[in-house]
Structure 1
């Protein structure tokens, strides 16, 4: 059934049938009701046709997009290869206006085509618009600091530390008869004062850079703190006590003197004898410090059958000798070693833990928008038991 050449849906036919029924039932009102239903049906039909038209338009646009994609793939050689940019010659010869120009102009004339410029990676083209990927900052290598961990560390709140040291012992203990006078012994002490020393360094930096690049601030902090730790480890081992230098472990240690002689002694034998020297001084050793090259020389020692003494190369061997941890650090001179009861030998005092500060209070930094980034620490080192440290040389032993 149709009205004005528009096909009726099932619902619309039902509405029309209802109108005809009402027209037969009540001729007086039927015409009015029928006109209302016909009007509503017309609105419904117009809406449907509008939606169908919109759907056709969308499908047409989609078809054009698919066709364009197929053309691009064809120009790119098939598959999913990217389309190659069209040359100016290609653009000119395929231009639609060229064919018309040939047909309409038998005499000399002029034909003009605006060429499309293709963006490339050339710096003069789109290459200058590219933004490079920023990878992580490549930092210089850092040494692992471990000598501090061998020592007891005490935090202090003053610029100097006082500690008593026993300097003498008179032991007159003896068996005493009943009623006899008991012998008297004596102890001597000395109060020593240790000043704390400041380790510090700084670098200039732009205030804008520090505010705009937060990662740079972290890098600067880390580098400055590492610089302090690097110098601190050298001072702990070899500080000579002059000026503001620490009075280090090595200058206050006891020279190695083998308790007995071993024929054709190896490096392992030398360390064993140094451990014995500490034990005989009543300071059982709790650690060993040596250069990494000396540790590797020991690690490569072999027996008469060619087997590695400290374990096969494919096994993980912890730096450990005779049950004591080995601290391998380049802060210790090569061919040297330090065996000690470090917990009893010395104490490290922290007046200021390592800290980093930023200030404009330097020269004309304020008006130049510059800042001084300062790192510093304040520490003291007291070597209380020189006999607890044994320092020696491997010499020509293997």
Structure 2
């Protein structure tokens, strides 16, 4: 049997058991396993043929269609199999990773998901999202892969002073004092579960899996933002930026844009560059809609929202940022240690899911967070009534 016939046979066995309201018999289980092994063998042969075609330089070969009619034998073409163009759709990094590891699920072509399917998303690159109007704190941080242990142990600067001076020959050199404190940053798991997704919906709506993928990722990343900003260090929470000792604080002065500029100056006075401004979307709009002079032009750029900045500093609108507050400074000094990358798992064997023909999805990541150099960052009060978290 070819791949399509094998899948049809498995579907027939499944439909028969469902119609009878019973589990698979031992014989049916054995038959299903044999069919699934055969499908895997066919898929493996396709992957090998793709590799051979690539090795022979047939870049336009595409993928082997196991169900297509035989084609004439030629160099770079597997005998008895036709070469067809590969179907794909433009998706993001996470969705691309999912599609690569589970193409049948991602494209919504398979009649069912595997009993347990897992895909892992790539670790985000630590680049300031200067061109992204709305993003995540993660876009501005330094991300380090943590390949062992249950967290990170680092030294945090408790005090910094400049002591260098001109020195005469043979004279004693000035002594610099640097105080460091040892900090343990345990890796925390951030997770969410989505259950009760009917198998029929997965089969009937090709883009449903992509949508659920996005929703689960967004939920986890939003909570990661919240933890990086507002984790209070208790229980399973990070010690976030707003709760880290030594971070500068800029009180409200004149108007939001002037306050932001003064905060930037304080960071620069400490010897650090301002690499990013993190601000809530509505507060960002308020800054851009400020008028210069006596009701003159808007301060913000009315052009398309690319390369957004305030006072020349790349700006990221963070939905989880508390209203009236912002953070600016050298965000590269804030580190996220990624212990386990984002993983999304789908299964139908939890509880009664198998009997009810439905799936449960779980998304999670595990990471630690810390700021080795707190004075490189400044908290900002954008009005004269807001209070800092934990104050």
Match of 2:142 among 139, 152, 164: 152
Which residues of 2 match residues 236-247 of structure 1 at below 5 A? 236-247=228-239
- With over 3 angstroms needed to count, the CA separation of the structure-2 counterparts of 1:146 and 1:362, relative to structure 1, is same
Match of 2:191 in 1: 200
Distance 1:304 1:167 in 2: 42
Match of 1:299 in 2: 288
Extract unaligned runs of 5+ from structure 1. 1-142
Q: Give the superposition deviation at 1:306.
A: 3.6
Q: Give the superposition deviation at 1:313.
A: 4.7
Q: Which has the larger radius of gyration?
A: 1
Per-residue CA shift, 1:233-290, capped at 9, x if unaligned? 12221111211112111222635346xx97xx23221111111111122223211122
Per-residue CA shift, 1:127-175, capped at 9, x if unaligned? xxxxxxxxxxxxxxxx943321110111112222222345567969884
Per-residue CA shift, 1:25-70, capped at 9, x if unaligned? xxxxxxxxxxxxxxxxxxxxxxxxxxxxxxxxxxxxxxxxxxxxxx
Q: What secondary structure is seen at the aligned counterpart in 1 of 2:322?
A: coil
Which residues of 2 match residues 127-146 of structure 1 at below 5 A? 144-146=134-136
More helix by share: 1
- With over 3 angstroms needed to count, the CA separation of the structure-2 counterparts of 1:199 and 1:297, relative to structure 1, is same
Which residues of 2 match residues 29-68 of structure 1 at below 5 A? none
Match of 1:320 in 2: 309
Give TM-score scaled by structure 1 length: 0.54
The alignment's C-alpha RMSD in Å is 3.3
Q: Does 1:267 align with 2:256?
A: yes
Q: In the alignment, is the contact (CA less than 8 A) between 1:281 and 1:388 conserved in 2?
A: yes
Distance 1:156 1:270 in 2: 37
Q: In the alignment, is the contact (CA less than 8 A) between 1:299 and 1:308 conserved in 2?
A: no
Q: Does 1:349 align with 2:337?
A: yes
- With over 3 angstroms needed to count, the CA separation of the structure-2 counterparts of 1:238 and 1:188, relative to structure 1, is closer
Which residues of 2 match residues 1-398 of structure 1 at below 5 A? 144-158=134-148, 159-167=150-158, 175=167, 178=170, 189-204=180-195, 205-211=197-203, 213-252=205-244, 254-257=247-250, 265-304=254-293, 306-310=295-299, 313=302, 318-344=307-333, 346-396=334-384
Per-residue CA shift, 1:150-201, capped at 9, x if unaligned? 10111112222222345567969884664x7878767665443321111111
Distance 1:182 1:389 in 2: 31
Match of 1:115 in 2: none
Distance 2:135 2:241 in 1: 16
Distance 1:151 1:349 in 2: 10
Per-residue CA shift, 1:324-368, capped at 9, x if unaligned? 012222211222221121012x10111222121122442233344
